Amino acid sequence: MEETTENRRAWDVLLIGGASGVGKTSVSYRLARHFDVGITEVDDLFIALETLTTPEQQPVLHFWRTNPEAANLTAEGIVELHIAVSRALSPAIEAVIANHIEECTPIVLEGDYLLPELLARMACERIKGVWLYEPDAAQITRNYALREPDEGDQSGRAHVSWLFGNWLHDECQQYGLAALPARPWETLIERIREAIA
């Protein structure tokens, strides 16, 4: 692809974070095509690490599988657990980022395990990041219904996502990082490009 002003980039790693159901995967693939770079879903790193470790080695990564009572956690408890899992994954994510910086191989990393504190800690001109959030929990419920129409009522899951999105938004404000509302969808690519320019 020929480089133009529109697809020129000043980064090697672009992080697209946000809670589940806000549209980050869809926009991440569009961004990867726009900039003609690779993409990795952080969920894949979670699956790989969970497969390669035992509950004794990484109890937080295996918590959902080894603790059936986790289904009874409050929404706030689920958010706390998700943050703990995200922090347990952070060393692996940092290693992937560092490798792409060292090799100068551009990539988009997307997922709800990406925490703003990770970017704040790594602080490098070659890494950019944006976190998406949805201020309306009902919209997240609608997003789930469109994506997974056979799953039934997902308002509880959407509430957890909304709570986590609010936490991410507050964290971005604390670290001075970009947090963008996912809607309007039509302008999201342009708004992300502006935020990382």
Domain ranges of the chain: 13-196
Q: What local confidence, expressed as pLDDT, does residue 4 receive?
A: 53
What is the assigned CATH class of domain 13-196?
A: alpha beta
pTM reported for the whole predicted model: 0.93
Q: What local confidence, expressed as pLDDT, does residue 1 receive?
A: 45
Q: What local confidence, expressed as pLDDT, does residue 151 receive?
A: 85
Q: What local confidence, expressed as pLDDT, does residue 149 receive?
A: 86
Give the closest residue to 49 by CA, choosing from 36, 60, 35, 38.
60
- State residue 185 phi and psi, 5-degree precision: -60, -35
Whole-number Å distance between alpha carbons of 50 and 43: 11
Q: What local confidence, expressed as pLDDT, does residue 197 receive?
A: 87
- pLDDT < 70: residue spans in the chain: 1-7
Q: What local confidence, expressed as pLDDT, does residue 70 receive?
A: 85
CA 36, 42, 47, 49: dihedral to nearest 10 degrees?
110
Q: What local confidence, expressed as pLDDT, does residue 112 receive?
A: 97
